[in-house]
Protein backbone atom coordinates (compact mmCIF):
# COMPACT_ATOMS: atom_id res chain seq x y z
CA UNK A 1 0.00 0.00 0.00
CA UNK A 2 2.75 2.50 0.96
CA UNK A 3 4.51 1.96 -2.38
CA UNK A 4 1.63 3.62 -4.26
CA UNK A 5 0.04 5.95 -1.75
CA UNK A 6 0.29 9.51 -3.00
CA UNK A 7 1.93 8.58 -6.31
CA UNK A 8 0.53 10.17 -9.45
CA UNK A 9 0.19 7.59 -12.16
CA UNK A 10 -0.72 7.95 -15.84
CA UNK A 11 -2.42 4.99 -17.52
CA UNK A 12 -2.66 5.12 -21.31
CA UNK A 13 -5.27 2.79 -22.73
CA UNK A 14 -7.21 3.16 -19.47
CA UNK A 15 -10.53 2.14 -21.04
CA UNK A 16 -9.10 -1.09 -22.49
CA UNK A 17 -9.18 -4.56 -20.96
CA UNK A 18 -6.07 -4.26 -18.77
CA UNK A 19 -6.40 -0.53 -18.14
CA UNK A 20 -9.94 -0.92 -16.81
CA UNK A 21 -8.67 -3.29 -14.10
CA UNK A 22 -5.25 -1.71 -13.47
CA UNK A 23 -6.83 1.67 -12.73
CA UNK A 24 -8.99 0.54 -9.77
CA UNK A 25 -6.10 -1.56 -8.47
CA UNK A 26 -3.96 1.58 -8.34
CA UNK A 27 -6.74 3.55 -6.67
CA UNK A 28 -7.17 0.84 -4.03
CA UNK A 29 -3.45 1.17 -3.27
CA UNK A 30 -3.72 4.91 -2.72
CA UNK A 31 -2.44 6.23 -6.06
CA UNK A 32 -3.88 9.25 -7.86
CA UNK A 33 -4.60 8.11 -11.41
CA UNK A 34 -4.62 10.12 -14.62
CA UNK A 35 -6.39 8.23 -17.40
CA UNK A 36 -5.72 8.97 -21.06
CA UNK A 37 -9.01 8.39 -22.89
CA UNK A 38 -9.34 8.39 -26.65
CA UNK A 39 -12.99 7.35 -26.98
CA UNK A 40 -15.31 7.34 -23.97
CA UNK A 41 -17.06 4.03 -24.68
CA UNK A 42 -19.94 3.72 -22.16
CA UNK A 43 -19.56 -0.07 -22.22
CA UNK A 44 -15.94 0.06 -21.09
CA UNK A 45 -15.55 -1.43 -17.62
CA UNK A 46 -13.81 1.78 -16.54
CA UNK A 47 -17.02 3.71 -17.22
CA UNK A 48 -19.57 1.04 -16.32
CA UNK A 49 -18.00 0.48 -12.92
CA UNK A 50 -17.96 4.19 -12.12
CA UNK A 51 -14.18 4.12 -11.69
CA UNK A 52 -13.80 6.94 -14.21
CA UNK A 53 -15.40 9.31 -11.70
CA UNK A 54 -12.46 8.65 -9.35
CA UNK A 55 -9.69 9.58 -11.79
CA UNK A 56 -8.46 12.61 -13.70
CA UNK A 57 -9.31 12.20 -17.39
CA UNK A 58 -7.13 13.57 -20.18
CA UNK A 59 -8.79 13.27 -23.57
CA UNK A 60 -6.50 12.57 -26.49
CA UNK A 61 -4.31 10.05 -28.26
CA UNK A 62 -0.85 8.72 -27.53
CA UNK A 63 0.39 9.81 -30.96
CA UNK A 64 0.12 13.50 -29.96
CA UNK A 65 3.24 14.69 -28.14
CA UNK A 66 1.72 17.88 -26.72
CA UNK A 67 -1.13 15.90 -25.18
CA UNK A 68 1.24 13.44 -23.57
CA UNK A 69 3.46 16.19 -22.20
CA UNK A 70 0.44 18.04 -20.84
CA UNK A 71 -0.88 14.91 -19.15
CA UNK A 72 2.48 14.29 -17.45
CA UNK A 73 3.49 17.87 -16.63
CA UNK A 74 0.18 19.39 -15.54
CA UNK A 75 -0.73 16.42 -13.36
CA UNK A 76 2.77 15.88 -11.94
CA UNK A 77 2.91 12.25 -13.04
CA UNK A 78 5.84 10.16 -11.80
CA UNK A 79 4.82 6.72 -13.10
CA UNK A 80 3.44 5.76 -16.52
CA UNK A 81 1.83 2.52 -17.60
CA UNK A 82 1.76 2.58 -21.39
CA UNK A 83 -1.02 0.18 -22.39
CA UNK A 84 -2.66 2.03 -25.28
CA UNK A 85 -2.49 0.11 -28.54
CA UNK A 86 -4.41 -1.33 -31.44
CA UNK A 87 -4.54 -4.88 -30.13
CA UNK A 88 -6.24 -7.03 -32.76
CA UNK A 89 -4.24 -9.12 -35.21
CA UNK A 90 -6.97 -9.13 -37.84
CA UNK A 91 -7.39 -5.36 -37.83
CA UNK A 92 -3.62 -4.96 -38.12
CA UNK A 93 -3.64 -7.20 -41.20
CA UNK A 94 -6.43 -5.14 -42.80
CA UNK A 95 -5.10 -1.73 -41.72
CA UNK A 96 -1.37 -1.87 -40.93
CA UNK A 97 -0.95 1.90 -41.22
CA UNK A 98 -3.30 2.69 -38.33
CA UNK A 99 -1.74 -0.10 -36.27
CA UNK A 100 1.77 1.28 -36.79
CA UNK A 101 0.56 4.81 -36.02
CA UNK A 102 -0.96 3.72 -32.72
CA UNK A 103 1.54 1.10 -31.61
CA UNK A 104 4.83 2.48 -32.94
CA UNK A 105 4.38 6.24 -33.15
CA UNK A 106 2.29 6.10 -29.99
CA UNK A 107 5.06 4.33 -28.10
CA UNK A 108 7.91 6.62 -29.12
CA UNK A 109 5.71 9.64 -28.39
CA UNK A 110 4.97 8.41 -24.87
CA UNK A 111 8.63 7.62 -24.28
CA UNK A 112 9.72 11.03 -25.54
CA UNK A 113 7.21 12.81 -23.32
CA UNK A 114 8.45 10.77 -20.35
CA UNK A 115 12.06 11.65 -21.21
CA UNK A 116 11.34 15.37 -21.50
CA UNK A 117 9.37 15.48 -18.25
CA UNK A 118 11.68 13.25 -16.21
CA UNK A 119 9.18 10.50 -15.35
CA UNK A 120 10.53 8.19 -12.65
CA UNK A 121 9.09 4.87 -13.87
CA UNK A 122 7.65 3.62 -17.16
CA UNK A 123 6.14 0.20 -17.85
CA UNK A 124 5.58 -0.57 -21.53
CA UNK A 125 3.15 -3.30 -22.54
CA UNK A 126 4.70 -5.38 -25.29
CA UNK A 127 3.50 -8.86 -26.29
CA UNK A 128 4.57 -12.42 -26.93
CA UNK A 129 3.85 -11.60 -30.58
CA UNK A 130 7.11 -9.62 -30.70
CA UNK A 131 9.04 -12.91 -30.78
CA UNK A 132 7.52 -14.00 -34.06
CA UNK A 133 7.67 -17.68 -34.96
CA UNK A 134 10.45 -19.32 -32.97
CA UNK A 135 11.89 -22.79 -33.53
CA UNK A 136 12.29 -23.41 -29.82
CA UNK A 137 9.47 -23.07 -27.28
CA UNK A 138 8.71 -21.76 -24.78
CA UNK A 139 9.94 -18.26 -25.55
CA UNK A 140 12.40 -16.90 -23.03
CA UNK A 141 13.48 -13.27 -22.86
CA UNK A 142 16.63 -14.31 -24.75
CA UNK A 143 14.63 -15.59 -27.72
CA UNK A 144 15.36 -13.29 -30.70
CA UNK A 145 12.58 -10.86 -31.64
CA UNK A 146 11.73 -11.89 -35.19
CA UNK A 147 8.16 -10.73 -35.75
CA UNK A 148 6.98 -10.50 -39.35
CA UNK A 149 3.24 -9.77 -39.47
CA UNK A 150 1.93 -6.20 -38.96
CA UNK A 151 0.61 -6.48 -35.40
CA UNK A 152 3.56 -8.55 -34.26
CA UNK A 153 6.02 -6.13 -35.88
CA UNK A 154 4.33 -3.14 -34.24
CA UNK A 155 4.91 -4.71 -30.81
CA UNK A 156 8.50 -5.59 -31.69
CA UNK A 157 9.12 -1.98 -32.70
CA UNK A 158 7.69 -0.65 -29.45
CA UNK A 159 9.81 -3.10 -27.53
CA UNK A 160 13.00 -1.99 -29.31
CA UNK A 161 12.11 1.70 -28.91
CA UNK A 162 11.70 1.24 -25.17
CA UNK A 163 15.12 -0.37 -24.84
CA UNK A 164 16.63 2.38 -27.00
CA UNK A 165 15.39 5.05 -24.59
CA UNK A 166 16.95 3.14 -21.72
CA UNK A 167 20.30 2.71 -23.45
CA UNK A 168 20.49 6.25 -24.82
CA UNK A 169 18.78 8.42 -22.20
CA UNK A 170 18.80 6.17 -19.12
CA UNK A 171 15.00 6.38 -19.02
CA UNK A 172 13.72 4.02 -16.30
CA UNK A 173 11.67 1.64 -18.43
CA UNK A 174 10.70 -2.03 -18.10
CA UNK A 175 8.84 -4.11 -20.66
CA UNK A 176 6.07 -6.64 -20.08
CA UNK A 177 5.48 -9.42 -22.61
CA UNK A 178 2.29 -11.30 -21.90
CA UNK A 179 0.46 -14.13 -23.56
CA UNK A 180 -3.17 -13.75 -24.64
CA UNK A 181 -4.92 -11.77 -21.90
CA UNK A 182 -8.51 -12.63 -21.03
CA UNK A 183 -11.03 -11.46 -18.46
CA UNK A 184 -14.23 -9.52 -17.97
CA UNK A 185 -14.43 -6.24 -19.85
CA UNK A 186 -13.06 -7.40 -23.20
CA UNK A 187 -15.77 -6.44 -25.70
CA UNK A 188 -13.83 -7.42 -28.81
CA UNK A 189 -16.18 -10.26 -29.68
CA UNK A 190 -13.87 -11.55 -32.42
CA UNK A 191 -11.52 -12.73 -29.68
CA UNK A 192 -11.89 -16.34 -28.71
CA UNK A 193 -12.71 -15.94 -25.00
CA UNK A 194 -15.42 -13.25 -25.06
CA UNK A 195 -16.81 -14.48 -28.38
CA UNK A 196 -17.13 -18.07 -27.18
CA UNK A 197 -18.66 -17.08 -23.85
CA UNK A 198 -21.25 -14.87 -25.53
CA UNK A 199 -22.15 -17.58 -28.04
CA UNK A 200 -22.57 -20.26 -25.38
CA UNK A 201 -24.62 -17.99 -23.12
CA UNK A 202 -26.90 -17.43 -26.12
CA UNK A 203 -26.97 -21.17 -26.79
CA UNK A 204 -25.20 -20.63 -30.12
CA UNK A 205 -22.28 -22.55 -31.58
CA UNK A 206 -19.01 -20.63 -31.04
CA UNK A 207 -17.15 -19.39 -34.10
CA UNK A 208 -13.48 -20.32 -34.62
CA UNK A 209 -11.71 -18.15 -37.20
CA UNK A 210 -8.69 -20.48 -37.33
CA UNK A 211 -8.66 -24.25 -37.78
CA UNK A 212 -8.70 -24.61 -33.99
CA UNK A 213 -5.18 -26.00 -33.65
CA UNK A 214 -3.35 -22.71 -32.87
CA UNK A 215 -1.60 -22.98 -29.49
CA UNK A 216 -1.37 -19.98 -27.17
CA UNK A 217 -0.79 -18.87 -23.59
CA UNK A 218 -3.87 -17.50 -21.87
CA UNK A 219 -3.29 -15.33 -18.81
CA UNK A 220 -6.04 -13.87 -16.62
CA UNK A 221 -6.27 -10.08 -16.47
CA UNK A 222 -6.02 -9.95 -12.66
CA UNK A 223 -2.64 -11.69 -12.93
CA UNK A 224 -1.50 -9.21 -15.56
CA UNK A 225 -2.45 -6.29 -13.31
CA UNK A 226 -0.38 -7.74 -10.48
CA UNK A 227 2.49 -8.37 -12.88
CA UNK A 228 2.50 -4.74 -14.05
CA UNK A 229 2.39 -3.46 -10.47
CA UNK A 230 5.19 -5.82 -9.48
CA UNK A 231 7.29 -4.63 -12.40
CA UNK A 232 6.82 -0.94 -11.62
CA UNK A 233 7.52 -1.43 -7.92
CA UNK A 234 10.91 -2.98 -8.68
CA UNK A 235 12.02 -0.72 -11.53
CA UNK A 236 14.63 0.91 -9.32
CA UNK A 237 16.60 -2.34 -9.28
CA UNK A 238 19.42 -2.56 -11.87
CA UNK A 239 18.39 -6.10 -12.82
CA UNK A 240 14.88 -4.83 -13.68
CA UNK A 241 15.48 -1.44 -15.31
CA UNK A 242 15.72 -1.76 -19.08
CA UNK A 243 14.71 -5.42 -19.05
CA UNK A 244 11.82 -7.35 -20.56
CA UNK A 245 9.83 -9.92 -18.61
CA UNK A 246 7.51 -12.65 -19.82
CA UNK A 247 4.26 -13.24 -17.94
CA UNK A 248 2.44 -16.49 -18.57
CA UNK A 249 0.07 -18.87 -16.83
CA UNK A 250 2.33 -21.70 -17.97
CA UNK A 251 -0.45 -23.76 -19.51
CA UNK A 252 -0.47 -23.49 -23.30
CA UNK A 253 -3.72 -24.60 -24.94
CA UNK A 254 -5.03 -25.07 -28.45
CA UNK A 255 -8.05 -23.01 -29.41
CA UNK A 256 -10.25 -26.10 -29.30
CA UNK A 257 -8.93 -27.04 -25.85
CA UNK A 258 -9.71 -23.54 -24.63
CA UNK A 259 -13.25 -23.69 -26.03
CA UNK A 260 -13.75 -26.99 -24.20
CA UNK A 261 -12.63 -25.33 -20.96
CA UNK A 262 -14.91 -22.34 -21.53
CA UNK A 263 -17.81 -24.73 -22.13
CA UNK A 264 -17.11 -26.27 -18.74
CA UNK A 265 -17.14 -22.85 -17.07
CA UNK A 266 -20.39 -21.83 -18.79
CA UNK A 267 -22.03 -25.20 -18.29
CA UNK A 268 -22.85 -25.52 -21.99
CA UNK A 269 -20.86 -27.34 -24.64
CA UNK A 270 -21.72 -26.88 -28.31
CA UNK A 271 -19.72 -27.97 -31.36
CA UNK A 272 -17.76 -24.96 -32.66
CA UNK A 273 -18.02 -23.70 -36.23
CA UNK A 274 -14.53 -23.98 -37.74
CA UNK A 275 -14.07 -21.26 -40.35
CA UNK A 276 -10.31 -21.73 -40.91
CA UNK A 277 -9.93 -18.20 -42.31
CA UNK A 278 -7.46 -16.64 -39.88
CA UNK A 279 -4.58 -14.69 -41.42
CA UNK A 280 -1.24 -13.44 -40.06
CA UNK A 281 -1.32 -15.91 -37.18
CA UNK A 282 1.59 -17.95 -35.79
CA UNK A 283 0.84 -21.63 -35.20
CA UNK A 284 2.38 -22.09 -31.74
CA UNK A 285 3.31 -19.47 -29.14
CA UNK A 286 3.88 -19.78 -25.42
CA UNK A 287 6.17 -18.25 -22.84
CA UNK A 288 8.48 -19.10 -19.97
CA UNK A 289 8.00 -16.85 -16.93
CA UNK A 290 11.11 -18.12 -15.16
CA UNK A 291 12.81 -14.71 -15.19
CA UNK A 292 9.74 -13.05 -13.66
CA UNK A 293 9.70 -15.73 -10.95
CA UNK A 294 13.38 -15.52 -10.06
CA UNK A 295 13.92 -11.76 -10.43
CA UNK A 296 10.54 -10.28 -9.52
CA UNK A 297 9.08 -12.99 -7.33
CA UNK A 298 6.01 -13.16 -9.59
CA UNK A 299 4.27 -16.37 -10.52
CA UNK A 300 0.89 -17.33 -11.86
CA UNK A 301 -1.61 -17.99 -9.06
CA UNK A 302 -4.86 -18.24 -11.02
CA UNK A 303 -5.66 -21.68 -12.42
CA UNK A 304 -7.44 -21.50 -15.76
CA UNK A 305 -10.64 -22.82 -14.19
CA UNK A 306 -10.77 -19.99 -11.65
CA UNK A 307 -9.98 -17.30 -14.21
CA UNK A 308 -12.62 -18.60 -16.61
CA UNK A 309 -15.23 -18.93 -13.85
CA UNK A 310 -14.74 -15.29 -12.85
CA UNK A 311 -14.73 -14.20 -16.48
CA UNK A 312 -17.94 -16.07 -17.31
CA UNK A 313 -19.62 -14.55 -14.24
CA UNK A 314 -18.69 -11.06 -15.48
CA UNK A 315 -20.14 -11.70 -18.94
CA UNK A 316 -23.35 -13.15 -17.50
CA UNK A 317 -23.91 -9.92 -15.59
CA UNK A 318 -22.91 -7.76 -18.53
CA UNK A 319 -25.07 -9.51 -21.11
CA UNK A 320 -28.07 -9.56 -18.82
CA UNK A 321 -27.71 -5.80 -18.48
CA UNK A 322 -27.56 -5.08 -22.21
CA UNK A 323 -30.09 -7.63 -23.45
Pairwise CA distance, residues 14 & 36, whole Å = 6
Sequence-ordered strand ranges (E) for 73-165: 79-82, 121-125
Asked if 259 and 196 touch (Cβ cutoff 8 Å), the reply is: yes
Asked if 161 and 279 touch (Cβ cutoff 8 Å), the reply is: no
Residue of 108, 139, 151, 286 with catalytic role = 151
Residues in the chain: 323
Residue among 9, 2, 243 at smallest CA distance from 120: 9
Pairwise CA distance, residues 75 & 68, whole Å = 11
State the DSSP H helix or E strand holding residue 172, giving kind and residue range, or none if neither.
Answer: none
Q: How many CB atoms lie within 10 A of CB 236?
A: 11
Sequence-ordered strand ranges (E) for 68-116: 79-82
Q: Any alpha helices (H) in the chain, and if so which ranges? A: 17-28, 45-48, 65-74, 89-94, 96-100, 106-117, 150-169, 192-201, 221-233, 255-266, 290-291, 304-322
151 noted as active-site residue: yes
Query: Would strands 79-82 and 121-125 be described as parallel, antiparallel, or unpaired?
Result: parallel
State the DSSP H helix or E strand holding residue 10, giving kind and residue range, or none if neither.
Answer: strand 8-12
> Which positions are annotated as active-site residues?
151
Amino acid sequence: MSEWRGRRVLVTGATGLVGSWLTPALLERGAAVVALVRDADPQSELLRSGTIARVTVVNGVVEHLATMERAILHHRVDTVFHLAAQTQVGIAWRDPYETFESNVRGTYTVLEACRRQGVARVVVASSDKAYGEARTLPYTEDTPLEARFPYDTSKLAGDVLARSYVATYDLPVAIARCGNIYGGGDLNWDRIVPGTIRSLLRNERPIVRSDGTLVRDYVYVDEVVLAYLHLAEQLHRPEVKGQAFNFSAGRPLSVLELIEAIGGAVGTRLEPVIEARAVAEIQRQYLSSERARTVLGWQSRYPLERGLAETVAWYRRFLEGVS
